Amino acid sequence: MAIDFSREVDYVARLARLTLEPAEKERMAGQLSDILDTARRIQELDTSAVEPTSHVVDMPAVLRDDQTRPSLILSRVLQNAPRRQKEYFRVPSIIRTDPD
Amino acid sequence: MKLYEQTASSLSQLLQNKEVSSVEVVLSFLDRIELIEPYVKAFITHTPAMALETASVVDSRRSGGEELHPLAGVPIAVKDNISTRGLRTTCASKILENYIPPYDATVIESLKTAGLPLLGKTNMDEFAMGSSTENSAFYPTRNPWDLERVPGGSSGGSAVAVSTGMTPLALGSDTGGSIRQPASLCGLTGLRPTYGRVSRYGLIAFASSLDQIGPLSLTARDSAMLMNVIAGHDPLDSTAVSEAVPDYTAHLEDGVKKLRIGVIKQNVATGFDPEITAAVMKTVTLFKDHGAEVDEVSLPLTDYGLGAYYLIAPSEASSNLGRYDGVRYGYNHGGDNIETMFSATRGKGFGAEVKRRIMIGTYALSAGYYDAYYLQAMKVRTLIRRDYEAAFRRFDILVGATTPTPAFKIGEKIEDPLQMYLSDVCNITDALAGVPSLSVPCGISSEGLPLGMQMTASPFREGLLLKAACFLEQKRDPVSLRPRVKLPEGGEV
């Protein structure tokens, strides 16, 4: 019944945008199998007639008036950016420009 | 008695009677920090200048005859996942090592308005994921009752700072036990409020449907006073409830007569350390001797709580932690295209436990698995709530052990995540049900380690828990609330 997680690790790591070292992957495969084996025990329970809980206190959706309000000033928004240029966050190229 | 040995409520009295100044109080705690901190490492950032500035403002306003909050001038330490404007907030993670929040959390604004000087930001498990404070990217925090043991986690720094007299009060956060478990392991009172009772605005998110901020203190009265500062509605947190906030100190002395107390069978279990079970049962007898009605109760879904929690919390974490990509804030590892930059930044910036949880959560939410894992866990959560609703028709308070064992050794569980997770087994179902839950000291083990009892009530009945805890403080065998810290080089402080 145990899930062999070693085949899933690369796929899930890519989905999560996580670079893992080979040793990390190996260790994690075993640990995740153990954890998921325990977690999967909840599948024994019959929940066919049960609604999921998201907020534990019953309350209506909270809305505020649709009015503009001042937001943080730009210098504060940008103060933690590791790379920036003028009023922008700077990132590496997103679209490849060289044909190959 | 030295100022740093006082509880928050007695400091409040001394300050209101103008027997001491807040600057004197803060200086006493700063001296204590200088002496103890090198041995326990409870803080990530110290803020002595800020604390003294707040203290002197409070002093001059008080001497000018202004009516101030009862806790004005009483210092506090805050877990380092609560945003403080202009002051580094790291979540004990390399990825946020240099992050300076541009705004204050709502609880920080409340502390500032009430006039509590901030002594510093406390150590924790990275992103509040852990039960020992060993997952801090910076250093582990040590348990002052035995420096070779963990203080619990994830709010381990907050617990140790209070227990050693480096601060009279602290704020922690509790997602699946992170206030109550360290409170238990360090001999303190720690309260997880009802979900939505305290604003989460500015609390750096781990699992949004579970996270709650709450107090750690030496006594129930101190926690009640701090709850009066932090509880309440907040338009900035759509999950914060608008229920009126009572004065949590009003009924502390009312006793436990006629209180219906249910002992949770699953939380005084046979696999637990027998000393803990014995200490809990002795405390229950004390309740009974003073007029409480006691019976046993079963919460049969407790066995499934761990499984539901370790799907829900990592799923929400994997989504919440998606924001750490090296673009807007935090560590950036570089890379020649956007995906390699994201992946390398996250791979190098997060520690092992955080990566494990992101992986579990990403898996549980991925195509084809959502219904079987996350959705099923959220349905099990409904069943767990029903378990509690049924129990609360018969009882006012449910009790059991806070932890299956006293504080464990540093390194003992770090290589075995599942064993580490099991140290929160008594705390998780309360969090899933969203109900208030408090840990109170109930004895000392034969090895000299604190033991804790957990008490749980229905939503918004924090006052009932604080009342029962206050009763125990007045009645139980006098156990020293604070450890003597045995220094490695000999001697104790």
Domains parsed from chain A with CATH numbers: 6-44 (1.10.20.60)
- Give residue A98's pLDDT band: very low, low, confident or very high (50, 70, 90): low
Which residues, at least 6 apart from B65, have a Cβ–Cβ distance to it below 8 Å? none
- Looking up tokens 């019944």, which residue turns up? A1
The CATH number covering residue B105 comes to 3.90.1300.10
Residue B407 lies in a domain: no
Nearest CA-CA distance, residue A5 and chain B, Å: 10
The answer to whether B121 is a known catalytic residue is no
Using an 8 Å CB-CB cutoff, list chain A residues near B383.
45, 47, 50
Among residues B10, B22, B79, B131, the one annotated as catalytic is B79
Q: A-chain residues within 8 Å CB-CB of B376?
A: 42-43, 45, 47
Nearest to B16 by CA among B71, B55, B75: B71
CA distance B26 to chain A (A): 31
For residue A1, pLDDT over 60 is answered with no
Name the band, by pLDDT with cuts 50, 70 and 90, for residue A2: low
Rounded Cα distance between B9 and B16, Å, is: 10
Cα–Cα distance for residue pair B473/B493, rounded to 1 Å: 24
* B84 within a domain of the structure (yes/no): yes
Residue tagged active-site, from B9, B28, B154, B155: B154
B178 is catalytic: yes
Query: How many degrees, rounded to 5, is the angle at CA A67 between CA A63 and CA A70?
Result: 110
pLDDT at B280: 97
CA distance, residue B379 to nearest chain A CA (Å): 4
A83: distance to nearest CA of chain B, Å?
7
Residue B451 lies in a domain: no
B159 in a structural domain: yes
Domain assignment present for residue B285? The answer is no
| Dihedral angle over CA of B238, B240, B244, B246, nearest 10 | -160
User: Residue B79 catalytic?
Assistant: yes
User: Does the CB of B325 have a partner CB in chain A at under 8 Å?
Assistant: yes
B341 close to A (CB below 8 A): yes
Which residues in chain A are contacts of B195 at CB distance < 8 A? 55-57
Mutate to test the interface with B, among A53, A67, A75, A87 (most CBs of B within 10 A): A53
Three-state secondary structure readout of chain A:
CCCCCHHHHHHHHHHCCCCCCHHHHHHHHHHHHHHHHHHHHHHHCCCCCCCCCCCCCCCCCCCCCCCCCCCCCHHHHHCCCCCEECCEECCCCCCCCCCC
In a domain, B415, yes or no: no
Q: What pLDDT shows up at residue B367?
A: 85
Q: At what angle do helices A6-15 and B352-365 cross, to 10 degrees?
A: 90
Q: Per the structure, how many domains does chain B have?
A: 1
Q: Which residue of B has its CA nearest to A32?
A: B360
Cβ distance B360 to A47 less than 8 Å, yes or no, reads no
Tell me the residue type at B157: G
C-alpha dist (Å) from residue B373 to A85, B14, B235, B370: 43, 54, 32, 5
> B421, A35: Cβ pair inside 8 Å?
yes
In order along its 493 residues, chain B shows pLDDT tens digits of 799 999 999 999 999 999 999 999 999 999 999 999 999 999 999 999 999 999 999 999 999 999 999 999 999 999 999 999 999 999 999 999 999 999 999 999 999 999 999 999 999 999 999 999 999 999 999 999 999 999 999 999 999 999 999 999 999 999 999 999 999 999 999 999 999 999 999 999 999 999 999 999 999 999 999 999 999 999 999 999 999 999 999 999 999 999 999 999 999 988 999 999 999 999 999 999 999 999 999 999 999 999 999 999 999 999 999 999 999 999 999 999 999 999 999 999 999 999 999 999 999 999 889 999 999 999 999 999 999 999 999 999 999 999 999 999 999 999 999 999 999 999 999 999 999 999 999 999 999 999 999 999 999 999 999 999 999 999 876 556 789 898 888 888 8
Interatomic CA distance for residues B388 and B403, integer angstroms: 19
**Rounded distance between C-alpha atoms, residue B369 and residue B164, angstroms:** 46
- What residue numbers bound the domain in which B86 lies? 3-252+456-475
User: Is residue B31 in a domain?
Assistant: yes
Contact B363/A8, CB-based, under 8 Å?
yes
Angle between helix axes B274-289 and B462-475 (nearest 10 degrees) is: 90
Please give the average per-residue pLDDT across A2-13, as a whole number: 83
- Domain assignment present for B466: yes
